[in-house]
Amino acid sequence: MAKSTAKLFLLSSFFTTTRTLTCTCSITTGASRSSNKKRKQKEAKLVVVKEKRRTRSDKALGDDAAHLYADSSAGHIPVMLGEVLDVFSLFSSSSKPLRSFVDCTVGAAGHSSAIIQAHPELKYYIGMDVDPVAHEKARTRIDGILHGDSCHPTSDLKSHTILKNFRYIKSVLSEVDEKILDTGVDGILMDLGMSSMQVNNSERGFSVIGDGPLDMRMDPQASLKAEDILNSWPDTELGRILREYGEESNWRSLQDKIVKARLHGGLHSTGQLVDLIQNATPWRRGGRQGWIKTATRVFQALRIAVNDELKTLEDSLYSCFDCLAPGGRLAVISFHSLEDRIVKQTFLDIINSNEVDGDEEERHGSELRKIRNDNDEKEAWIRQMIQGCGGTILTKRPITPSEEEERLNRRCRSAKLRVIQKVER
């Protein structure tokens, strides 16, 4: 009898424990589902907030317009062309003609061609590029426009295409005509993106797709190559480049593997570098294709270092603004956060303002108010401005490509347009 009682007690304890565990698992599962649901709702809210804070262009862009000024031979489409034309459209009026224009990164001359055709009143055009291939292509294209029937520029338009980096804008303008520096330039454009003819040419070493030399020089006459950095620069400096210029979280592992590769002959082709990155990238980081994002960041870091892009950009922004005429505008299209951060901070410094983008500025409504002017109806693209004693930032937040343009040209999706105008005397 005692044995039966003990047996029943054990069975009762077993079922009680089982029910408790089942309930606990059920509660845990329910809590987990609830937690996942809340997390997804929170992520959805963040996406909505991010989209609201993004000043996306609503510029209509048809397929014909997108390809009208494209370089079909290189597969290059000028980014945010309609927005760039809007920036300088104010000068189309008789009261403010666009007399002079500088394209600091002429590339395939897509933006320049459109500006020249849209402004028959133009007297001076200067196109600059450090890449000899781009320079020659742009010169040929612009000469064809000026001497063709597609546009009717004034007969006294003086056009110059210069093979130089935009850091030398002041010396270039003085060589073209000393009077330009005295009066100033009405419009200046800087498109910091790489052209398709550079990316698609594996011999230049810019692309992660296709094997080629580790070059990455914008100026073929420059001495420093990506190969030099990978094989001979100090370990700490190599790590700094990957960390700061590439914003790569796995920089330390990549640095170690690159240094070890030096013991076995070093790296001498983009294919070898890509193989190293593939082997150094954990599968958990984006799965099978996760290495592509890492490779893109590494290639970006090396390209910036080879061409000293960030320091050149900062110095050139000040020089370009100095070259503007009163009321003149400088438009800059950037393609990654490092560039955009420099453009934003430099613009703020130029107009002597310490305000920054973000939630904090909403609490300073009196200081960072929505400034409206007489040209609102003509320039609907201007949403909010920041006014300072040296000039006015016409894009409190950068303008990004429209959804339609992103659909037509995937390479434009990271573009950001910022515009600053010099104070009128």
Cα→Cα distances 198→189, 203, 274, Å: 20, 9, 18
Cα→Cα distances 229→251, 299, 327, Å: 15, 12, 43
Q: What is the mean pLDDT of the chain?
A: 81
- Whether residue 245 is predicted with pLDDT greater than 80 in this model: the reply is yes
**Contact 313/192 with Cβ under 8 angstroms?**
yes
- Whether residue 394 is predicted with pLDDT greater than 50 in this model: the reply is yes
CA-based nearest residue to 276, from 242, 317, 236, 327: 242
Residue 394 belongs to domain spanning: 63-196+336-348+355-422
pLDDT at residue 249, rounded to an integer: 92
Distance CA 408, CA 411 (A): 9
Whether residues 185 and 221 share a domain: the answer is no
DSSP letter (8 states) at residue 58: -
Whether residues 185 and 226 share a domain: the answer is no
Q: Is residue 385 part of a domain?
A: yes
* Close Cβ partners of 110 (under 8 Å, ≥ 6 residues apart): 69, 70, 71, 76, 77, 78, 81
Whether residues 89 and 143 share a domain: the answer is yes
Q: Is residue 269 part of a domain?
A: yes
Q: Is residue 24 part of a domain?
A: no
pLDDT at residue 66, rounded to an integer: 53
Whether residues 208 and 87 share a domain: the answer is no
Residues of the chain with pLDDT > 90: what percent?
56
CATH code of residue 213:
1.10.150.170
**Contact 210/260 with Cβ under 8 angstroms?**
no
> How far from the centroid of its chain's Cα atoms is residue 310's Cα?
12
Query: Binning pLDDT at 50, 70 and 90, where does residue 60 land?
Result: low
pLDDT at residue 84, rounded to an integer: 95
- Whether residue 324 is predicted with pLDDT greater than 90 in this model: the reply is yes
Alpha helical stretches, state H, 281-373:
290-307, 309-323, 337-350
Query: Binning pLDDT at 50, 70 and 90, where does residue 11 land?
Result: very low
pLDDT at residue 155, rounded to an integer: 58
Whether residues 341 and 264 share a domain: the answer is no
pLDDT at residue 342, rounded to an integer: 98
Whether residues 73 and 180 share a domain: the answer is yes
Q: Is residue 278 part of a domain?
A: yes
CATH code of residue 394:
3.40.50.150
Q: Is residue 39 part of a domain?
A: no
Residues of the chain with pLDDT > 70: what percent?
73
Sign of the dihedral defined by the CA atoms of residues 135, 141, 145, 146, in that order: positive
Whether residues 115 and 183 share a domain: the answer is yes
Domains held by the chain: number: 2
pLDDT at residue 75, rounded to an integer: 52
What are the backbone angles phi and psi of residue 159, rounded to the nearest 5°?
-110, 135
User: 160 versus 10: which is more confidently predicted?
Assistant: 160
Q: Is residue 2 part of a domain?
A: no
Whether residues 164 and 228 share a domain: the answer is no
Q: Is residue 55 part of a domain?
A: no
Tens-digit pLDDT profile for residues 18-46? 444 344 444 444 555 555 655 555 554 43
User: 351 versus 365: which is more confidently predicted?
Assistant: 351
- Whether residue 425 is predicted with pLDDT greater than 80 in this model: the reply is no
| pTM given for the model | 0.80
User: 202 versus 344: which is more confidently predicted?
Assistant: 344
Query: Binning pLDDT at 50, 70 and 90, where does residue 128 land?
Result: very high
